[in-house]
């Protein structure tokens, strides 16, 4: 599995996780994602995946860095709910 494909697959997992946590919404908080055991066990690096997803305009959040505790209430908005790895 190439590194690029792995990143795309992790972004797809992140999208599924956000949709599962958010329910009918398209927004979750960083704290919700950070505390989700399923995502923590699936993603190699939550923040790395968030950065990659934002670069591809799949999600959006304020700031450059999200830290557990400090940014738990920071909203992450899902922009492409139908994103799939190619």
- Summarize pLDDT for 3-50 with one digit per residue, the tens: 788 999 999 999 999 999 999 999 999 999 999 999 999 999 999 999
**For the chain, what is the domain count?**
1
Domain annotation covers residue 83: no
Q: What are phi and psi of 24, to 5 degrees?
A: -80, -5
Q: What is the mean pLDDT of the chain?
A: 94
Domain annotation covers residue 34: yes
Read off the CATH number of the domain in which 53 is found. 1.10.10.1540
Alpha helix positions (H), 1-86:
3-22, 30-34, 37-42, 46-55
Instruction: Write down the pLDDT at residue 86.
Output: 78
Q: How confident is the model at residue 2 (pLDDT cuts 50, 70, 90)?
A: low
Domain containing 55 equals 3-78
Predicted confidence (pLDDT) per residue in 38-80, tens digit: 999 999 999 999 999 999 999 999 988 899 999 999 999 999 9
Domain annotation covers residue 84: no
Domain annotation covers residue 85: no
pTM (2 decimals)? 0.92
Instruction: Write down the pLDDT at residue 13.
Output: 96
Cβ contacts of 5 within 8 Å, gap of 6 or more: 85
Other C-beta atoms closer than 10 Å to the C-beta of 52 total 18
């Amino acid at each position: 599995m190439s590194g690029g494909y792995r990143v795309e697959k992790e972004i797809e997992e992140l999208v599924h996780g956000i949709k599962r946590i958010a329910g009918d919404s398209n927004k979750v908080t960083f704290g919700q994602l950070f505390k989700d055991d399923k995502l923590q066990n699936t993603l190699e690096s939550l923040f790395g995946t968030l950065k990659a997803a934002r670069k591809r305009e799949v999600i959006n959040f304020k700031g450059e860095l999200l830290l557990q505790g400090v940014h738990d209430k920071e909203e992450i908005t899902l922009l492409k709910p139908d994103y799939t790895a190619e």
